[in-house]
């Protein structure tokens, strides 16, 4: 069994339209912070259960022009925020060995639950946008596949993660499907320190609102590069720091992007 903690933060303050940077007239920014508890329990050598429990904080700030928002007609600084337990992910994983001693496969199947709050409001009592809520309001199936191969001292690994949208929430909003693909190369020669590089491809389809209308400014494709360094403090405790940067992004209409994402992780192994 293992217990992990992961903290990630990103500040989205750079607007783009498609692939091109555009002016940020409202000086808008969104801060996303996530503290996730990760539990993993090995039922057998080939089958395990995992749970991801994210606590989220989302803050959106911008400077309104006069008349831009009815509840703050004179304009000025306006913020929206939400905080709380986000949607929990539960997953079962099975380990397969189609090629003996090489390229083991880990197949995962699970659900993203709908427990996260979707009713946060601004200071005027108006419900804030769905994409600023800590939850989604829908239960979606999740499929993943991961493989790795050790070519000492290099560990090569890769995986695919798919979330399939399962309809609208109670407000008629439906998030798009999500596909994420990862390629990792880690250097493991040192007994207490390791480092690695990662490529991360993310594609999301368009969201829909009011039970079928296409949402603008949502969805697109992104390619990220990440560098990581980790330490093995003991045989039972690992730490890891990851810095991720966008290489190429092609997004639908205008969206805010982040110049980087920082993530700090801890993994505690509990002897059986």
| pLDDT, tens digit (0-9, with 9 covering 90-100), for 11-35 | 999 999 999 999 999 999 999 999 9
**CB of 108 closer than 8 Å to CB of 92:** yes
Q: Dihedral through CA 127, CA 129, CA 131, CA 133, nearest 10?
A: -20
Per-residue pLDDT tens digits for 97-154:
877 778 889 999 999 999 999 999 999 999 999 999 999 999 999 999 999 999 989 9
pLDDT at 101: 75
Mean pLDDT computed over 32-47: 95
Give per-residue pLDDT as tens, 153-162: 999 999 999 9
Number of domains the chain contains? 1
CATH code for the domain in which residue 141 is found: 2.40.160.40
Neighbours of 264 (CB within 10 A): 14
pLDDT at 102 (0 to 100): 80
Residue 107: beta bridge partners? 94, 145
In which domain, by residue range, is 62 found? Answer: 2-269
Q: Residue 11: its pLDDT value, please?
A: 96
pLDDT, mean over the chain: 95
Read off the pTM. Answer: 0.92
Residue 169: the pLDDT is 96
Q: Name the pLDDT band for 173 (thresholds 50, 70, 90).
A: very high
Is it the case that residue 56 has pLDDT exceeding 90? Answer: yes
- DSSP of 17-50: ETTEE---TT--EEEEEEEEEEEEEESSSSEEEE
> Stretch 236-252: mean pLDDT, rounded?
95
Closest CA to 121 of 166, 192, 171: 171
């Amino acid at each position: 069994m293992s217990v992990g903690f992961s903290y990630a933060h990103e500040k989205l303050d750079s607007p783009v339209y498609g692939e091109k940077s555009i002016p940020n007239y409202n000086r808008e920014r969104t801060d996303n912070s996530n503290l996730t508890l990760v539990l993993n329990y090995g039922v057998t050598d080939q089958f395990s259960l995992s749970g991801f429990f994210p606590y989220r904080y989302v803050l959106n700030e911008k400077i309104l022009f006069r008349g831009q928002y009815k509840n703050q007609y004179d304009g000025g600084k306006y913020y929206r925020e939400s905080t709380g337990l986000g949607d929990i992910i539960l997953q079962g994983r099975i380990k397969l060995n189609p090629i003996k001693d090489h390229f083991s496969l880990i197949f995962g199947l699970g659900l993203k639950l709908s427990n996260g709050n979707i009713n946060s409001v601004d200071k005027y009592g108006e419900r804030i946008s769905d994409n600023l809520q800590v939850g989604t309001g829908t239960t979606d199936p999740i499929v993943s596949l991961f493989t790795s191969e050790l070519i000492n001292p290099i560990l090569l690994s890769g995986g695919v993660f798919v979330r399939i949208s399962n309809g609208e929430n109670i407000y008629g909003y439906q998030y798009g499907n999500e596909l994420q693909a990862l390629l990792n190369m880690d250097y493991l020669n040192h007994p207490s320190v390791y480092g690695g590089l990662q490529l991360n491809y993310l594609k999301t389809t368009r969201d829909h609102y009011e039970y079928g209308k296409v949402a603008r400014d949502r969805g697109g494709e992104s390619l990220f590069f990440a560098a990581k360094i980790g330490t093995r403090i003991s045989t039972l405790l690992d730490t890891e720091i990851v810095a991720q940067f966008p290489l190429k992004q092609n997004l639908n209409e205008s969206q805010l992007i982040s110049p980087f994402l920082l993530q700090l992780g801890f993994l505690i192994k509990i002897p059986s």
